[in-house]
């Protein structure tokens, strides 16, 4: 029997442009036999031993986290669960969770229908109206626990769907620095309907409606209500080499008891036009989010992964990207209505093959929020083949930020050096050094860390890390957030059946 194999990278320290290039291959011998029910399962363990970043004199804390996913397929039906547990050997019982059934779902899937009873991720349009997604780095996996159904015609000319249920977040996420639980103090229910239809060759119109109700955890009375209505149009090749997408949403926030408005009506609009007369490519993207305060979304931010792209509530940005033969430059112009300042951002990036089969990746840019702050950023990385099957990767990243220019000017200078060496497809080591010359002596200016990744077999893989990282912006799946410094060690083990 041959098994599904997977490489697992669950925690990322520092930005490595080649972070996703680990090379592992598997081929397990097997004894063929078949079961009417196909089973798939994974186990993931994460052990962390850390020093408190606020008060390093406190005793170090250890935490052992585990999660498993098991799914059984029978014909067009499947049933899956996701469970987790955690334990601290330090004697503090508070973090201990012997067993948490995080998710469960019974699904029916065929070419045209997807029906789920239980937990399901959902997204409407480009994630402005709603996005319930999974991100392992930040320990996020919000789902609707209820029922959902979607029908798509075989040609794709018609698609209709709907869902209803209660939102569920992870209770014991297996992540070093999990995102704050958006449901820790409230219960949220949702119901939605959406439809999309082809109106011409490669041209679609769509619409969606979402009702959201919320109440405090201890209450039986809903106190907040949101109505979201949105529509989209898309057309590929509407003119020669021109593709267009546009979506707009209206968000109404109400007091669920008396129907009064909690906020003025919010608007969220995104549009993208691409013109590709090769070898050139021109793309114009625009977002216009006005008073759009809604927690469960992941809209296009049009921001680079150097800043927390959290302001998707009241901001407008237009971005022009011009690219040719692996080199691209973009210029963004916008208005941040929360910070009450114009925003500008210029970025130049490129990928190139160098001599001796080296591959170079570079990016540099300058972002400024006029009168408030500015950030210069640059990355460069090179992958160098050495001996047979072995590669050396070198990376340098710099972020120089001048902050609070209108209030209390400060400078934050961050330099990240990464060296990693892959001895084979199954073993690599990496070393990092972070230099923050603008840090106070108390916070430290030098951060050293190291790690290794080993694939013991096709089923069992591990990563280990020890040392210090300085924190700062960390991005995953389009979301960036500022994470605190980390001092300690961690072991991350994955087992795929």
Partner 1 sequence: MMRALVAVFSLLLSQTWISQAMAAHAPSFPATMLDGSRTTLEELLPKDKLMLISFWATWCVPCLAELNTLSSKLKDSKIPLKVVTVNVDSSETKAQVKPTVSDLKKNAGFAFPVVVDPTHAIFSKYQPNAALPFSVLVGPDGSILQSFSGYQETMLGKIEELAAKTLPKKAVAGSNGEG
Strand-pair partners of 216: 186
| Shorter beta-carbon distance to partner 1: residue 23 or 482 | 23
Helix, coil or strand: residue 352 = strand
| Shorter beta-carbon distance to partner 1: residue 225 or 481 | 481
| Shorter beta-carbon distance to partner 1: residue 208 or 470 | 208
Q: Say if CB 235 and CB 243 are below 8 A apart.
A: yes
Q: Say if CB 69 and CB 46 are below 8 A apart.
A: no
Q: Say if CB 83 and CB 98 are below 8 A apart.
A: no
Residues 453 to 492: which contact partner 1 by CB under 8 A?
Answer: 459-460, 477-479, 491
Tokens representing 103?
């998710």
**Minimum CB separation from partner 1 for residue 250, in Å?**
18
Q: Which residue in 86, 103, 126, 397 binds partner 1 (CB under 8 A)?
A: 126
Cα-only R_g, the chain: 24
Residues 181/186/187/191 CA torsion (nearest 10 deg): -80
Query: In the stretch 424-443, what mask flags binding to partner 1 with x, by CB under 8 A?
Result: -x------------------
Q: Which residue in 13, 163, 179, 204 binds partner 1 (CB under 8 A)?
A: 204
Residues 46 to 75: which contact partner 1 by CB under 8 A?
Answer: 47, 49, 62, 64, 66, 69, 71, 73
200 belongs to the binding site for partner 1 (CB under 8 A) = no
412 belongs to the binding site for partner 1 (CB under 8 A) = no
What backbone phi and psi angles, to 5 degrees, belong to 131? Answer: -150, 115
Strands (E), 121-223: 122-124, 130-132, 134-135, 140-141, 143-152, 158-168, 186-200, 203-216
Q: Which residue in 52, 145, 181, 243 binds partner 1 (CB under 8 A)?
A: 243
423 belongs to the binding site for partner 1 (CB under 8 A) = no
| Shorter beta-carbon distance to partner 1: residue 73 or 223 | 73
Q: How many CB atoms lie within 10 A of CB 219?
A: 11
97 belongs to the binding site for partner 1 (CB under 8 A) = no
140 belongs to the binding site for partner 1 (CB under 8 A) = no
319 belongs to the binding site for partner 1 (CB under 8 A) = no
240 belongs to the binding site for partner 1 (CB under 8 A) = no
**Minimum CB separation from partner 1 for residue 376, in Å?**
22
Residues 374 to 403: which contact partner 1 by CB under 8 A?
Answer: none
Give CA–CA dist 316/65, Å, rounded: 40
311 belongs to the binding site for partner 1 (CB under 8 A) = no
**Between vectors from CA 143 to CA 141 and to CA 145, what angle results, nearest 5°?**
145
């Amino acid at each position: 029997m041959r098994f599904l194999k997977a490489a697992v990278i669950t925690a990322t320290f520092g930005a490595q442009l080649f972070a996703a290039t680990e090379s592992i291959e598997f081929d397990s011998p097997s004894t063929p036999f078949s079961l009417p029910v196909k089973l798939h399962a994974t186990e993931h363990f994460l052990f962390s031993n850390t020093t408190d970043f606020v008060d390093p004199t406190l005793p170090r804390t250890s935490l052992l986290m585990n999660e498993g996913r098991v799914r059984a397929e029978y014909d067009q039906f499947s049933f899956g669960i996701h469970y987790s547990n955690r334990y601290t050997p330090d004697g503090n019982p508070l973090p201990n969770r012997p067993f948490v059934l995080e998710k469960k779902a019974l699904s029916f899937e065929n070419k045209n229908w997807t029906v789920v009873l239980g937990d399901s991720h959902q997204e409407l349009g480009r994630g402005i109206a709603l996005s319930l997604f999974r991100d392992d780095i930040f320990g996020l996996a919000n789902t609707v626990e209820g029922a959902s159904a979607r029908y798509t015609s075989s040609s794709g000319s018609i698609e209709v769907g709907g869902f209803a249920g209660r939102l569920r977040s992870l209770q014991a996420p297996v992540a070093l620095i999990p995102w704050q639980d958006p449901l820790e103090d409230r219960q949220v229910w949702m119901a939605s309907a959406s439809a999309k239809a082809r109106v011409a060759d490669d041209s679609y119109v769509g619409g969606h409606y979402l009702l959201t109700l919320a109440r405090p955890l201890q209450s039986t009375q809903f106190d907040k209500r949101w109505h979201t209505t949105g529509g989209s149009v898309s057309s590929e090749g509407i003119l020669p080499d021109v593709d267009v997408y546009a979506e707009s949403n209206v968000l109404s926030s109400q007091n669920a008891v008396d129907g009064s408005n909690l906020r003025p009506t919010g608007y969220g609009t995104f549009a993208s036009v691409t013109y590709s007369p090769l070898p050139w490519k021109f793309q114009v993207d625009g977002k216009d989010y006005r008073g759009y305060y809604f927690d469960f979304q992941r809209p296009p931010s049009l921001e680079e992964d150097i800043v927390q792209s959290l302001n998707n509530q009241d901001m407008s940005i237009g971005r022009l990207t011009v690219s040719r033969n692996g080199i691209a430059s973009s210029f963004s112009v916008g208005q941040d209505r929360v910070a009450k300042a114009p925003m500008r951002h210029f970025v130049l990036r490129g990928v190139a093959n160098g001599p001796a089969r080296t591959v170079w990746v570079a990016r540099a840019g300058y972002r400024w929020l006029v009168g408030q702050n500015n950030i210069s950023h640059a990355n460069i990385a090179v992958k160098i083949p050495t001996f047979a099957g072995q590669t050396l990767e070198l990376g340098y990243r710099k972020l120089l930020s001048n902050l609070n220019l209108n209030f209390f000017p400060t400078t934050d200078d961050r330099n990240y050096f990464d060296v990693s060496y892959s001895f084979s497809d199954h073993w690599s080591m990496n070393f990092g050094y972070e230099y923050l010359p603008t840090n106070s002596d108390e916070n430290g200016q030098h951060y050293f860390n190291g790690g290794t990744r080993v694939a013991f077999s096709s089923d069992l893989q591990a990563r280990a890390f020890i040392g210090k990282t300085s924190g700062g912006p960390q991005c995953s799946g389009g979301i960036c957030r500022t994470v605190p410094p980390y001092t300690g060690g961690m072991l991350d083990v994955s087992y795929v059946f």
